[in-house]
Amino acid sequence: MKNYESLVKKIFPVFAMLLAISLFPVFLKNNYYLTIGCQAMLYCIVALGLNFIVGMSGMMTLGTGAVYGLGAYTSALLSTKLGVNPWLALIPVLVMGWLIGKGLGFPSLRVQFVYFSLVTIAFNEIVRNLLTNLEFTGSGTGVRNIPPYSIFGFEFNTQLRSYYLIFAFLVVFIIIALRIAKSKWRRAFIAVKDNPEALEVSGINVSSVKITAFTLSSIFGCVAGALYAHFNRYITPSTFTTDLSISFVVMLIIGGLGNFWGCILGAYVVAFLPQLLRSAGTSYKLIYAVLMMLAVILFPNGIMSDIRRSVGKLINNGKGFSKGGGIGENRTGN
């Protein structure tokens, strides 16, 4: 009975959040906001994946933009040039994610810390340059006329329809991410960041743990990229820059590294804040940067982690004993 209660307690916030996201179009019917809403959900998927590497395993990768882009191009090229059904194209997209994971995970075994970030920036730039210069990928103009997803003749060709399609994918990825947060993988990922040497002598192959984190993350990124391609209907290489990669990491930092709720919140902040600041005109970038810096100063562990900690403090106040939850900022889920 107690188990059941705690399960409800854990699932309820997720459910409430999904309900809020699904009701979003009811209040903001305007296509412009719907587009940003879709963008935010795609960011959520990428951030949830990125959380495995940056948040849990503590490896700062700045190549996620390229992962997102490769997913988008794989699906876009297959469906425009070869006429492959977009749904079927998801299989090569998954394979692409798997390959990138293995490929990017490998240097992480050799180089560490900031040097690893540099390798991933290089990866991002190489991919962007290839996409810009290869004729096969449509060079600078990118790929146009990408068909939308469709089920039995029902096309996901409007903003509203796409919104619910992406929402369905988001639900699936949230379930996967929460499942992983309950599995032995979460422990292994956190342990990789914490103490790789002790992990090795506990009989765990550190290399395979790192590569698993990368593979998971790139699969999330690639699928989100593919969804983006079929939602936006055209893609250009200039989208998938190192700037985008940095934005993905910013989402995690703003929300809270290693924190499930932080990923979601961070994705929404990064997607919506620039739009809200539109009215500021040319000084919007300045305001954006200042807000970001303020967020980092005021919430050094990420907005979600710090909010949860102060709520926890309020609840525990007077009990005198706080179960050591203070350094739990790296916990995901619950």
Partner 1 sequence: MLDVENISTYYGNACALYDVSFSVTENEIVSIIGANGAGKSTLMKSVMGTVRPREGKIVYKGKDITHVQTHKIVKSGIVYVPEGRDVFTKLSVEDNLTMGAYSKPAKAKELNALHEEMYEMFPRLKERRKQMAGTLSGGEQQMLAIARGLMSKPDLIMFDEPSLGLAPIIVDEVFDRIQAINKRMGISVVLVEQNAFMALSISSRCYVLENGKVAMQGKSSELIDDETVKSAYLGM
Cβ pair 332, 258 in contact under 8 A? yes
Strand positions, DSSP E, 148-304: 150-151, 154-155
Q: How far apart are CA 132 and CA 93, in angstroms?
A: 20
Closest distance between partner 1 and the C-beta of residue 316, in Å?
14
Among candidates 261, 268, 220, which has minimal Cα distance to 24? 268
Closest distance between partner 1 and the C-beta of residue 3, in Å?
13
58 φ/ψ sector (left φ>0, alpha ψ -120 to 50, else beta): left
Residue ranges binding partner 1 (CB under 8 A): 184, 187-188, 190-191, 193-195, 197-206, 323-328, 330
Closest distance between partner 1 and the C-beta of residue 191, in Å?
5
Closest distance between partner 1 and the C-beta of residue 185, in Å?
10
Closest distance between partner 1 and the C-beta of residue 27, in Å?
39
Nearer to partner 1, 102 or 331 (CB): 331
**φ/ψ (deg, to 5) at 174:** -65, -40
Closest distance between partner 1 and the C-beta of residue 90, in Å?
31
First to last CA, the chain: 18
Among candidates 191, 181, 73, which has minimal Cα distance to 127? 73
Amino acid at 303: I
Distances (CA, A) of 100 to 179, 200, 270: 23, 24, 25
